[in-house]
Chain A
Amino acid sequence: MQEGHSNEKSAWQPATFKRSTALRKKTESIWDPALIKPALRASFTKLNPRTLWKNPVMFIVEIVSVMTTLITIKNIFIHHPFWFDFQISLWLWLTILFANFGEALAEGRGKAQSDSLKAMRSQTYAVKILENGQTEKIPSLSLKKGDKVLVEKDDLIPGDGEIIEGVALVDESAMTGESAPVVRESGGDKSGVTGGTKVLSGRIVVKITTNPGESFLDQMIAMVESAKRQKTPNEIALEIMLVAMSIVFIVVCATLLPFAKYMSVNVGIPVLVALLVCLMPTTIGGLLPAIGIAGMDRLLRCNVIALSGRAVEASGDVNVVLLDKTGTITLGNRMASEFLPAEGVDIKNLAESAMLASLADDTPEGRSIVALAKTILGKRGGEIQAPESSEFIAFTAETRISGVNIGKRMIRKGASDAIAGTVREDGSLPEDIQQVVDQVAREGSTPLVVSDGNQILGVVRLKDTLKTGIKERLSYLRGMGIKSVMITGDNPLTAATIAAEAGIDDFVARCTPEMKLEKIRKWQSDGNLVAMIGDGTNDAPALAQADVAVAMNAGTQAAREAANMVDLDSNPTKLLDIVEVGKQILITRGAITTFSITNDVAKYFAIIPAVFAAKYPALNILNIMKLNTPESAIISAIIFNAIVIPMLIPLALRGVRYRFTSAAALLEMNLLIYGLGGILFPFLGIKLIDMLLHIL
């Protein structure tokens, strides 16, 4: 059964973009007044050198701003002309404020996002049993270790814990990949339950043993706050480059003083400072914190909580992805895919019997049998009804059989050996049925035998079904240079079948947790960066070893602790969004750095002739922008340098869009926009500002 598979063939790519644009629409625009006000206030508090020094480039700007301000004040007192110096000082301070504003705005958005996430998450409730025996509905996230909760049929178990009362049939397929429900009961070694698993029947009291979710959110909030944020290695490396460039420009400007003096030109300190600030990479320096914070914020908007920025950026480098078969590639629940009638039995008879036996079976398997039978019998939902006299036999862990009694008809379905035991004295199956059963099992599916009284009607093939759109997603990964590897406990034949069906690059069959760990280590020692998505406790060691480890929020506590990201939606293909966000952060940094550096060319052409052409008119040929006066040239350059920061804030917050093309094509395009554009744009900008200043 491949429902919806074909008609959503190309659905994936637009879906991500659709989702992200939807998210953008959902959240405020960048210039939301509710966020602007506190950000404006924070722009000033962030001037405090004790916090600003963490951004070395802007810190240098602050030092030289203080210098020019002092010179301006001195000039006011000794009645020297001060207007020019004053303007320079003013724009220098604005440069810092603009940068602070960008950072504060990114922080504000991140905080707003994590707050709303917190609110949304607490909407799932748990029934907590109070000391006095009464119950209270509380948000799952506020559960603490030691709390007792009541879980009934169809409830999700709110957190990892231990059953202290009752027995239940629990669907743990999301955790373990094991499709068959398991019995969990108080006492003994079957008392442990994991958060996110579903109670199919029974009523239990669970004592919570861990503090769920909460701490992740707290960590996430720290990542969108500049003060607490840990810089990633990539960010540190870039910052080193920016500081090194700043140092060179300090030397360039400082040594210009004696060179100019030798050439009999006196250059004022404010002019040199203006040149320095124009040359220094203030654009990227100012926006660097905002880019990192905004990246985390975007990830949060995808409902992914990252516990380290480093892992997010590493996800852009991942070249091997381990995907669990169950839950990621296949739906995890086995679905009826075929009816195989016994000799002399009509397929409709088998289908109808199987359907009747499954009507009361609310497990995914049972529902899938009903659905398949309906298509074979050509019936619609409303037409199916159990006869009045029906008496349903529920599945139990002991009998491993379920079914229905309709009058004297006793229809049963169950595992082959269990059915055989009820049908025949010696507990064996007829030859032909046994063959079918073996064949089905060999192919990696699960055979379910259906009987009516003493007659074996046939076999239902229960098969793992591919998740919708998984094929497209995998081919997408391949396009990004990422190899997908399927991990499964199945035999190689089944694994190969599924792998071929899903278009997976490689698989590891009969995989034990130890093998997973070993494989990851091997890939890593070959130089690969390995990403893994896991949920089960047995995934924990492998998650801890992987470079990028995403745990499902529905997964076990151990898995979440070992991972460096948690996906609140428990959607294993979220990795693609994570990769995209990781890449975007880096691209945005690279693009604005390139823009910032290439801008310097125009600024030289504005300032150098302004400083020297008075003494050496020949140098006027460098004034290719034909700026009006030396003063307006310098002021225009510094104004341009300042206002380019707020102009780029939206880009820094949204991130440069990542396009799924080859590395070279991506680079070419970004070089064209931010490199060549970075050279040309300021010529235009400075000229315009100069013209405006002239008019004013």
Chain B
Amino acid sequence: MTPTNLAGILLFLIITTLLAYPLGEYMALVFTDQKTFLTPVVQPVENVFYRICGIDEKQEMSWKTYAFCLLLFSLVSLIGLFLIQILQGHLPFNPEKFKGVKWDLSFNTAVSFMTNTNWQNYAGETTMSYFTQMLGLTVQNFVSAAAGIAVLIAMIRGFIRKTSNTIGNFWIDLTRCTLYVFLPLSIILALILVSQGVVQTLGPYVKAHTLEGKTQTIAVGPAASQIAIKQLGTNGGGFFNANSAHPYENPTTFTTFLELLSEFLIPVALVFTYGAMVKERKQGWAVYWAMMALCLVGILTALYFETQGNPILKKAGVAHGTNMEGKEVRIGVMPSVLWSVITTDTSTGAVDSMHDSMTPIPGLIQIFNMAIGEAIFGGVGSGLMMMIFYALITMFIAGLMIGRTPEFLGKKLGPYEMIMTSVGLLSSPITLLIFSAIAISLPAGLSALTNHGPHGLSEILYAYASTANNNGSAFAGLNSNTLFYNLTLGFAMLIGRFTTLIPGLAVAGSLAKKRLTPATTATLRSDTLLFVVMLISVVIVVGALTFLPPLTLGPFLEQLMMHAGRTF
């Protein structure tokens, strides 16, 4: 860990924050129905959509209706995406003449993109036609991200409304998020990426003749447009199999920075949106600092252990022990580690190095980041929701300890909120543990492992942590395009997605109905250092208590054994 590394990391975090703050404020304007500088341009388009779909802009929904619309929309997305993949052989824009995708892989991929997970059991350039990539996957990149934000906004409305039965309109939130936030940002980012050398073409793959006189097929395609939203929407599903380690997805140091920034930008901005919408910006900052502290500790720990390198290599005198396995030389150690932590924090899941090849402790950090529910900034919308669940638990215990019925942002927390918070917080860990245990007990699960011992355990844990929390990055080393994994990972993604969003809406519905308790001197504030420290502690304690046994047997034991001279 050099000062340059640290300065680079700090600079990155500061730049992100500086850009995220105004974006967050902008989004708050968009979702509270106020005029922005884009309104004159976008509103006519927006109205056309409403008119076509017959949506009444004034109509508000109860949380149940909101949830029903979300589920309906997701189901239609799922079926549509499934059919596009199955039928892609008969559809246009297929210059490489790819056949239809097998049903279980189609199911897995459809679930994956619909749930904003973007776990990929396929290699893009050898499986998916341009049609599938553009009308299937890219569209889902947009709308699954927008759906996540829509639900978050609805949840925030639960805190600001009083004695109200409604929490907004799903269709309006979804449309606004896509038109006002994702489209403009994606257009800008895609253009910059193209200028840096990311490919964007509908033409067939390029045949190159090498110096040895052989032919090499170079995969190309409409990549830039998909990559922009892949990063911005914390999707992470690469156009190419190698994701952002691929030179056509991520050609330069500048694009590495830019892609990293864009996957971090909206999750950070949403924290400020939250502060702006509850009209107490300090609340946003409190959550920001809790997340940022957890993020920073993750980055520094991972970086420390990764730059320690591999003692076995060191002993052998190879490359001073620097662990370059699985990393792009042009990207380097620090950006790879930074990226690996940010991508697991934000539930993006895009990678610019192979996480599987890092030393065990960074792997542990990555699994932990995901396993606690992607609450450190997290996926767009869902991440902050998760952190709000943690905040509710924190305020519940804190409220008791000061002798008041627990409340958060002036809303009293009762049994119903606790049920929903528990479901929201604990479904993913339970899913993760149960599916991992099943996978590790069955031949169907074990046969996919390329490594054994603690590393094998880490691989399986990583896969289910990634899917049950809708991250989508892979540890690699797990050949998961099998019937068993396609189905179990698919179900993990479905459970992970909807056991976060639906309880979030339920909490919003219940809180919106409640009165707003005015703050007095006896109110416990949730914008103080004390709260931030407590929130961080609750996240760590809940995560540690749930995952200590498997993480000890997996990455932690591996680290100990690596120093004893054993690898897996």
Contact = CB atoms under 8 A, between A and B. Distances in A.
A237 interface: yes
Contacts of B440: 258-259, 262
Nearest to A529: B517
A614 interface: no
A255 interface: yes
B521 interface: yes
Interface in A604-662: 604, 608, 612, 616, 618-619, 621-622, 658, 662
Given A319-B520, A612-B552, A586 B403 contact: yes
Interface string A255-268: 11111111100000
Contact of B399 (A254, A279, A524, A590): A590
A321 to B, nearest CB: 12
Given A247-B426, A481-B523, A604-B548, A263 B454 contact: yes
A259 B549 contact: yes
B401 A591 contact: yes
Interface in A302-329: 313-314, 316-317, 319
A586 B405 contact: yes
Interface string B113-157: 000000000000000000000000000000000000000000000
Contacts of A249: 545
A666 B557 CA distance: 41
Given A597-B541, A666-B403, A528 B517 contact: yes
Contacts of B314: none
B401 A594 contact: yes
B437 A593 contact: no
Contacts of B545: 248-249, 252, 279, 597, 600-601, 604
Given A255-B436, A260-B553, A316-B405, A480 B522 contact: yes
Interface string B317-334: 000000000000000000
Contacts of A260: 553
Interface in B393-428: 393, 396-406, 410, 412-415, 417-419, 422-423, 425-426
A257 B433 CA distance: 11
B401 A598 contact: no
A695 interface: no
Interface stretch (A162-170, A433-441, A667-675): A667-675
B447 to A, nearest CB: 13
Nearest to B552: A608
A389 interface: no
A270 interface: no
Given A259-B550, A260-B553, A618-B564, A528 B518 contact: yes
A250 to B, nearest CB: 9
Interface stretch (B221-229, B251-259, B479-487, B524-532): B524-532
Interface stretch (A21-29, A37-45, A114-122, A238-246): A238-246
A156 B434 CA distance: 70
A248 B372 CA distance: 13
A593 to B, nearest CB: 6
B550 A244 contact: no
A525 interface: yes
B560 A667 contact: no
B429 interface: yes
A316 B404 contact: yes
A252 B522 contact: no
A236 interface: yes
Interface string B539-566: 0010011101110110001001100100
Contacts of A663: 402, 404, 521-525
A233 interface: yes
A690 B491 CA distance: 45
A666 B441 contact: no
A319 B403 contact: no
Contact of B434 (A233, A251, A524): A251
B422 A240 contact: yes
B287 interface: no
Contacts of B552: 608, 612, 619, 622
A237 B414 contact: yes
B510 to A, nearest CB: 12
Contacts of A316: 403-405
A525 to B, nearest CB: 7
A234 B405 CA distance: 7
B426 A608 contact: no
A510 to B, nearest CB: 26
A47 B522 CA distance: 41
Contacts of A608: 548-549, 552
Contacts of B400: 234, 238, 586-587, 589-591, 593
Given A241-B396, A583-B404, A593-B400, A259 B522 contact: no
Given A248-B429, A666-B402, A237 B515 contact: no
Contacts of B351: none
A621 B560 contact: yes
A583 B402 CA distance: 7
Given A527-B162, A622-B552, A258 B441 contact: yes
Contacts of A254: 437
B430 interface: yes
Nearest to B456: A262
Nearest to A600: B545
A252 B440 CA distance: 15
A671 B401 contact: yes
A524 B515 contact: yes
A582 interface: yes
B468 to A, nearest CB: 12
A590 B557 contact: no
Contacts of B425: 244
Nearest to A483: B520
B457 interface: yes
B426 to A, nearest CB: 5
Contacts of A584: 403
A255 B523 contact: no
B81 to A, nearest CB: 31
Interface string B166-183: 000000000000000000
Interface string A269-291: 00000000001000000000000
Given A261-B441, A316-B404, A251 B430 contact: yes
A526 interface: yes
Contacts of A670: 401-402
B549 A587 contact: no
Nearest to B162: A527
A667 B398 contact: yes
B9 interface: no
B516 interface: yes
A262 B549 CA distance: 13
A2 B545 CA distance: 61
B534 interface: yes
Contacts of B437: 254-255, 257-259
A696 interface: no
A34 interface: no
A240 B415 contact: yes
Contacts of B518: 319, 526-528
B506 to A, nearest CB: 14
Contacts of A666: 401-403
Nearest to A664: B530
B417 A237 contact: yes
B436 A664 contact: no
Given A622-B552, A664-B530, A237 B413 contact: yes
Interface of A: 233-234, 236-238, 240-241, 244, 247-249, 251-252, 254-263, 279, 313-314, 316-317, 319, 479-483, 524-529, 582-587, 589-591, 593-594, 597-598, 600-601, 604, 608, 612, 616, 618-619, 621-622, 658, 662-664, 666-668, 670-671, 674-675
5 contacts: A244-B422, A258-B441, A317-B517, A479-B521, A601-B545
Given A252-B549, A482-B520, A590-B397, 14 more contacts: A238-B396, A247-B430, A257-B437, A263-B457, A319-B522, A527-B518, A529-B517, A586-B399, A586-B404, A590-B402, A597-B545, A601-B541, A618-B564, A619-B557
